[in-house]
Copies of this chain bind each other. A is one copy, B any other.
Amino acid sequence: MRDILEAVASGELSPAAAEARLAGYASTDAGRFDAAREHRRGVPEAILADGKIPEETASLALTALETTGRALVTRTDEATVAAVSERVGEARPGATVDVDERARTVVAHAPGFERPSLEATVAVVTAGTSDAAAAGEAATVLREMGATVDRIDDVGVANIDRALDQREALRAADALVVAAGREGALPTVVAGMVDAPVVALPVSVGYGFGGEGEAALAGMLQSCSVLSVVNVDAGFVAGAQTGLIARAVSAARDG
């Protein structure tokens, strides 16, 4: 502990980073950032932009960057992206900021930060264009956890030949996230075609009865194939859960 405090005294370490190392989290005006959790499971702590004003999100992102070397922001909009980019750019000149508009994510890395690397591939599969945001969120998390991500898009079951055309690619993955809205049937079909574990991701696409993702969620929970499910639009959770599987497989490969 002494060396941490000395590093603060000498300016090598910011007070936030020191607090994170000592207490496991860093306090900010916009709330608490939980740095310790990241160490435990290799899952980056996500900052949910939805329901926060851009300045709060930017402030939490900067704290994340300072305490863990990385910030992952989800459910962003244009204003949030601008606020985060500007704030990080000013405060940490050498940091990289990676924006994915479709996935609605922003990832910032401090200079010198090194992403982990796993020896495992996760396929992120979508039924249609409107599943892109949830699936993209999953893909971003997976990349940050170090997995190789293979995107297989627009293979919804209304035209079954598309999924069949991707049979080889689907079978090559160590784990799969399969996203679908509407009737949510794709994960069932895919899980019937592969050996690896499938995590089904229902998407809030649809209308009328069951149209905010409940039809897809219920269908996935009732699936005739073996698979497990996350909540509606929970791309982060789907990515992190398959990331944990990829991590276990990679560790076993490393022996």
Contact = CB atoms under 8 A, between A and B. Distances in A.
Interface in A182-210: 182-185, 188-189, 191-197, 199, 202, 204, 206-210
Copies of this protein, total: 8
A9 interface: no
Interface in A210-246: 210-211, 213-234, 237-238, 240-241, 244-245
A41 B158 contact: no
A255 interface: yes
Interface string A27-52: 00001101011001111000000010
A182 B241 contact: no
Given A42-B195, A160-B163, A228-B230, 12 more contacts: A24-B159, A25-B154, A36-B159, A41-B226, A160-B164, A160-B189, A175-B248, A184-B222, A185-B185, A222-B231, A228-B229, A250-B252
9 contacts: A164-B164, A208-B213, A208-B221, A209-B213, A209-B231, A211-B231, A214-B218, A215-B222, A226-B241
Interface residues of A, number: 84
